Structure 1
């Protein structure tokens, strides 16, 4: 009886530690699949002045941020291990880049690179919304 309890506690602890150490990007992908959502991956780097411009003038805009709420938004440093790996996988040319990704079909839906006007980002987001019939976009 005590051995069963100890084994159960050990398995519970092991499962908890495994969950805590799991890859957050992989968790987001799994969540997107289960919620039938697209993911917006934003690739940036620490000393990228163009990233700061996009964050200040595009992502902070109410219209853009409202549309991005339709996606699971993941911010990645392109120099991190995970960011670098995904950037290669998605063909990211540099920073800043926004990639709209369909995890169910494992494909890039749309991509925009560089410090571009808000309208360009909205067109990229709207393209994904239209392709996937997201009514709240």
Structure 2
């Protein structure tokens, strides 16, 4: 059994052991304390593009390092049980994705330290393109488009 497979099994067991709820409000507090952005990865079971994001993009060492350094990573399978708490509301994971306007998968949503959605990537991105996105968001270059 490969190390990669062992890690995936361990992550699955850990995620099943803990509550399936996601408290984005609490993560916003953590983002303020750590001066990081929140990266919400929305995906769905059976999506080949999602599997490619997980197997190739998120498994890339440079991508992992960039996420660890500058982001709080939140993995939301919209078909999983559990609720998402955000901005005072509690809804299912699927309803959360639909309510914020992202019923397409995979989607990567980037929230700032105030809980504002500041950037998004919809669809598969290879590791190089995704690294560019991570650098853009961590440097807050998305603000350049607003000025």
TM-score (structure 1 length as normaliser) = 0.69
- Structure with bigger strand share is 2
Q: 1:34 to 1:85 in 2, by over 3 A?
A: farther
If asked which structure has higher relative contact order (CA below 8 Å, sep 6+), I would say 2
Distance in 2 of aligned mates of 1:97 and 1:63? 20
1:25 counterpart residue number: 24
Which ranges of structure 2 fall in alignment gaps of 5 or more residues? 1-18, 85-92, 142-147
- Equivalent residues in 2 for 1:1-137 (5 A)? 24-69=23-68, 70-80=70-80, 81-82=83-84, 83-104=93-114, 106-131=115-140
Structure 2 distance, partners of 1:30, 1:85, is: 23
> Secondary structure of 2:125's match?
coil
- Answer 1 or 2: which has greater helix percent: 1
Larger Rg: 1
Aligned pair count reads 112
* Structure 1 moving runs of 4+ over 4 Å: none
Contact 2:37–2:138 at 8 Å: present in 1 too?
no
Aligned position for 1:8: none
- Superposition CA RMSD, Å: 2.5
